[in-house]
Structure 1
């Protein structure tokens, strides 16, 4: 399926949304996946006119807004708000009409077919898009590094998911989750800082996000940390030492039991990957270990990819190839842009005429 204009690629993340044109090598727009409405309304929307704040504008007006996160654990939970975000993407961020652009939309590996059907309904019936393709984030992450077979290690905000992909198809039964991701990092940081008598009130989320960007992983947790000092300046101007916190939260990806009494709560990253590979056919495991692709916002933590390779090689007693990138946070989006340009991808698209003729049936046929 050929299009006169470059397709729009939209990567729906629980923390941030990435959007741009398939002809580009980087998203045009990245902003928080959040919608804010005036708090004085107290949830009674529709009775009077009010302004809706989206993305970073909502985060900048925290004091006056009630925030809603329409994507949680990779699933769309509020369709009215995600529709507002998509509308905002086209008209405010990309400045194009949705009826002029085919769309590649990412979905979580856990997304049910009902979510894909509803997405098609919104894009075809509300936004009037001419064509739509819904693809798994794990599959597109492999395309983003030029591969079709390998392991996607998605370290996101709500979940960390290990997903094997073979020849462009998701091996669903071998998927694993560690239960430790960005949200858990935030909660741990909050608890530790509260124990240190720091309470940040309304600005807490912004401060925690800033400290999370200072996370790091060492090659050996036993090594001296004096060279890894992290100092954070509070809005008040006070400097606090967060070296221990940033070290601990990074180390928990590999040794969650080091800091947790409940030893069944979290799974280490390397154990999740090995378990996922063991669930696959023996003939496939070698190919999976040769292409391990970390992606997501926390995949860019300094030292994480190298430490992951060391831990895996220690477990499986063979070389592994962890493909690290400074732009791991947009790997999925890049995969969508790559996918849009492939001639073989045309059979995966649904155009508006097909949707009008067959409705949900063609969505099930194409995207299951």
Structure 2
């Protein structure tokens, strides 16, 4: 890298963005990946000055703002707003000048090269950073867990990717998805409540998903006399026993819980399928480090159940490396990666970008 100061690490997610420095063990800033502009603009930028709100602040003023989500399903769909968020991170959240800091970006495993090239353009030409590196979140999650070989299970808001990684390199041909991100869990909870005649805003199923859903080691446990109280915003008290149990079970037995959803693959089935796409001699090493990450990876009981079901399917010893801070594992991996001397060849400097243009970017970030 071109700078002696700690690099800025940015984990760019569809739901939230995390940012901090390579010298830290936790992100400095975490907020919703969203930009809010006044309603009266009707999607235009306007000719007069106006206030722009970023992240959680935008949602706090949602009634007066038009909210834009620049990252949808792991893809950047609005580059002007993405630039606005990057500018906010550097100047407002981290309080650093981008000219003094190398920047690392964690992106989805399926991010196309065209998007990486566009990020390089923004980082070097707009922000004028001295160096830039982009790495898949799945690879960085392995680094964050202390491994370079294994299977990253990224259970994010809009994507659920299973990414085999060997010696720090993503095996992109074996990447899988189980088609069940956390947003789909919220939809499932909302539908279950609606079947009981309980119609709620999106905040309620999101809260149940994040704070009440759990996974049991034995899915045949008795539910007799089990009651899970939940108080709706209206003050009404309801029993969400079925929703909290079945939502977790949906990850492991989708054919039983939601037989009409034929596109969902069980989590353990998707992991085994990804491993089977790899060379046979790699599989034992991959199973030594199965790393759940993303917000949904912190559901109570997920790690224990996943290890149990994987060992039952594969008849092999499997090591599931769960974390109490699964939402930040990929970011932590980026901080670890940026501090390793052996990874410096994977960075692109501003001078290289100016001398070789997109050619050097393609060579390093393909």
* Higher mean displacement: 332-341 or 72-81: 72-81
1:117 aligned partner: 117
Unmatched tracts of structure 1, length 5 or more? none
User: What is the 5 A alignment of 1:257-296?
Assistant: 257-262=255-260, 264-296=262-294
**In structure 1, the residue corresponding to 2:252 is in which secondary structure?**
coil
- Distance across 2 between alignment mates of 1:156 and 1:14: 8
- Equivalent position to 2:327, from 323, 326, 329: 329
**In structure 1, the residue corresponding to 2:251 is in which secondary structure?**
coil
1:95 aligned partner: 95
- Distance across 2 between alignment mates of 1:30 and 1:21: 13
- Equivalent position to 2:203, from 189, 203, 206: 206
* Higher mean displacement: 29-38 or 220-229: 220-229
- Equivalent position to 1:354, from 352, 355, 358: 352
- Distance across 2 between alignment mates of 1:232 and 1:25: 35
Q: CA deviation at 1:228?
A: 6.7
Residues 238 and 113 of structure 1, relative CA distance in 2, 3 Å threshold:
same
Residues 274 and 245 of structure 1, relative CA distance in 2, 3 Å threshold:
same
- Distance across 2 between alignment mates of 1:108 and 1:351: 22
Q: For the Cα contact (< 8 Å) 1:143–1:335, is it kept in 2? A: yes
1:174 aligned partner: 174
**In structure 2, the residue corresponding to 1:324 is in which secondary structure?**
coil
Deviations 1:197-234 (A, max 9, x none): 3334xxx2333321111211011111124687433322
- Distance across 2 between alignment mates of 1:210 and 1:62: 18
1:72 aligned partner: 72
- Distance across 2 between alignment mates of 1:47 and 1:322: 54
Q: For the Cα contact (< 8 Å) 1:139–1:169, is it kept in 2? A: yes
TM-score (normalizing by structure 1): 0.95
* Higher mean displacement: 218-227 or 130-139: 218-227
Count residues in correspondence. 365
Deviations 1:130-169 (A, max 9, x none): 1101111111111001111100000111111111001111
Unmatched tracts of structure 2, length 5 or more? none
2:125 corresponds to 1:128 = no
Deviations 1:242-277 (A, max 9, x none): 221121111100001112233522000000011111
2:248 corresponds to 1:250 = yes
TM-score (normalizing by structure 2): 0.96
RMSD: 1.5
User: What is the 5 A alignment of 1:33-44?
Assistant: 33-44=33-44
* Higher mean displacement: 109-118 or 182-191: 182-191
Deviations 1:164-186 (A, max 9, x none): 00111111111111001111112
Q: For the Cα contact (< 8 Å) 1:2–1:346, is it kept in 2? A: no
